[in-house]
Amino acid sequence: MTAYAKRSILYWLLLGPFAIVALFPYAVMLSTAVKPGDEIFVFPPTWVPSRLAFENFVEMWTATGFGQALLNSVLISLAGTIISLLVAIPAAYAMARLRWHGQGIYRQFLLVTQMLSPIVLVIGIFRLMAAMGLVDSQWALILGYAAFNLAFATWMMSSYFKTIPKEIEEAAWIDGATRFQSLMRVFLPMALPALAVTAIFTFINCWNEFVLALTILRSNEKYTLTLQIFTLVGGAYKINWHHVMAATFAATVPVAVVFALMQRALVKGLSLGSVK
């Protein structure tokens, strides 16, 4: 047995228990989602249902307005991600290429903002949105999500922009390109993997957010998926756990699809910048 094979076996033995613990909630979720309702609380509990109750997904979809909530989450998350990236890209370019007084302090300020939880700022954000007349408006969530992810996106993109040789940009200037043209035609094509990574994490942050959505939204037809699933548990006298788990499983599918489609760009983007 080679040394590489021994290390692989050792890593599997060390990481296997952690993987089991991490995947256990998903196994419970999937098992409950496809169980008939009368088999969920049987004792002793069973993992494998007597039959696959796919009607749980149909009943959940029609009874809870899941389709509208899914559409709301997709639109809000996409809009928040796009606005955040549109602002973060020029800001990241400025941090990577321009020099000004207090730049180091500003970079540290961006890091500090990532230490604040949205729940700490939720009262101030609500008062701001109320003053702007955006309570119970999906635009309030879009602007809030874009603002919350702006510092992360700027930091990620600026770190990668610094790895692009300045000589490439200077060559574009010699050919008559402006800074904006060099950003669009030189930086962004070379930074597509890093841009993909930033977009994925920003989208996931918007998709999973709950506190701000709970504070801002009032109308059921404007609910995001996190709020819609919460109503199945927090606002019901009787909890149909097979519907809750079916909704939770369905809510993870779009994120899984995004990861599957952009997996190669994600891995490449995470490794870029490690070797200059």
Q: Is residue 18 part of a domain?
A: no
Q: Report pLDDT for 142.
A: 94
The total number of structural domains in the chain stands at 1
Q: Is residue 17 part of a domain?
A: no
Q: Is residue 39 part of a domain?
A: no
Tokens of 197: 């990574």
Q: Is residue 12 part of a domain?
A: no
Per-residue pLDDT 10s for the chain (276 aa) are 677 777 888 888 888 888 889 888 888 888 888 888 787 877 787 878 888 888 888 888 887 788 899 999 999 999 999 999 999 998 888 888 888 787 778 778 877 877 777 788 888 888 999 999 888 899 999 999 998 899 889 888 888 888 888 887 778 888 787 878 887 887 788 888 888 888 888 998 999 898 899 999 988 889 998 888 888 876 656 777 888 888 888 888 878 777 777 666 665 555 554 444
CA distance 180 to 8: 48
Its pTM surpasses 0.85: no
Q: Is residue 267 part of a domain?
A: yes
CA distance 200 to 254: 12
CA distance 230 to 242: 14
Q: Is residue 11 part of a domain?
A: no
Q: Is residue 74 part of a domain?
A: yes
CATH code for the domain of 115: 1.10.3720.10
Our CA angle for 225, 84, 131, nearest 5°, is 75
Q: Are 264 and 192 in contact (CB under 8 A)?
A: no
The domain in which residue 182 lies consists of 65-271
Q: Which of 128, 164, 150, 142 is nearest to 273 (CA)?
A: 164
Q: Report pLDDT for 75.
A: 94
Q: Is residue 143 part of a domain?
A: yes
